[in-house]
Amino acid sequence: MKCKNCGATLDEGALFCRRCGTSVPQEPEPEPKTTKRTKNTALSGITDGIAGWFGRAGKWISGTFAQARNRFAHLKTAKPAQKRRFLLLTGACAALIVVLIVVIVCAASCKAPAKYETPEKLTEAVIETLQQGDGETLYNMAELSHKVLGEHTDLFGAGDTPEAVMQGYYERLAGDLHAGLTAEYGEGYRLEGETETTIVTDTTIFETNRALGLEAERYAEVTGPLYVGDAFVTNLRVVAVELDGAWKLLAVYLY
């Protein structure tokens, strides 16, 4: 290193030139290099977790694929008995998957029992089942009165059990009406009519309710004529009870 003033050679670490006395500028010491650290934030932790999960999932998929590929490669040279066992195992697994899919679909399609907020809504459902001739649904809707009404075999016909008697009654009630209307008006007929609802709070007038031991305070009688177009068909009477915030069917009469 030389002096900038006189050009004399300077000693290492000299502060002044020995020839002319000019001060020697000192170079600043370089700052130590620091390694940048990434802050461990909650977001980075989440992204690391997701990345790790995808990494593990990728390894599992690739491993499973490799095992399957090795199985099929081995199957080419396997003995007939080994091939049969492999095919049977594969078929059993496929059948199990199909059964699981069917069970899931059936469970998803099963509907919870309908709840009717008003007796008018309940009556609309009753009229719809009558129009479709769906006696089984009508029977299920009137499950509260199966035991009591089913005991009147002299009125509704003989049966092995009260439930069977009631089911036969509602199937005839809906089926016969539907068959007659279909024969007269065809499949496209529409059963409709204006109904009138009467709310009753005196439970003593309902023998059926007393026998059932229903602890309800409000009952409804819905009555009205049913028509197909302008043609009168029959009179409808629906008896309903309010339980747990919903209206449930006790009985249906056509007269």
Question: Is 65 inside any structural domain?
Answer: no
pLDDT given at position 39: 46
Q: Are residues 167 and 129 in the same domain?
A: yes
Q: Which residue has the higher pLDDT, 225 or 48?
A: 225
Question: Is 18 inside any structural domain?
Answer: no
Once rounded to an integer, what is the mean pLDDT over residues 3-13?
A: 78
Question: Is 162 inside any structural domain?
Answer: yes
Question: Is 8 inside any structural domain?
Answer: no
Q: What percentage of residues in the chain have a pLDDT greater than 70?
A: 70
pLDDT given at position 213: 64
Output the pTM of the full model: 0.53
Q: Phi, psi (5° rounding) for residue 202?
A: -90, 95
Q: How would residue 37 be classed by pLDDT, with cut points 50, 70 and 90?
A: very low
Q: Which residue has the higher pLDDT, 90 or 108?
A: 90
Q: Are residues 162 and 200 in the same domain?
A: yes
Predicted confidence (pLDDT) per residue in 125-150, tens digit = 999 999 999 999 998 888 877 666 65
Residue 207 has pLDDT above 90, yes or no: no
CATH of the domain at 132: 3.10.450
Helix axis angle, 42-77 to 80-109, nearest 10° = 140
Once rounded to an integer, what is the mean pLDDT over residues 78-102?
A: 74
What stretch of H or E contains 173? helix 162-185
Q: Are residues 77 and 155 in the same domain?
A: no
Q: What number of CA atoms fall less than 13 Å from residue 88's CA on the CB side?
A: 6
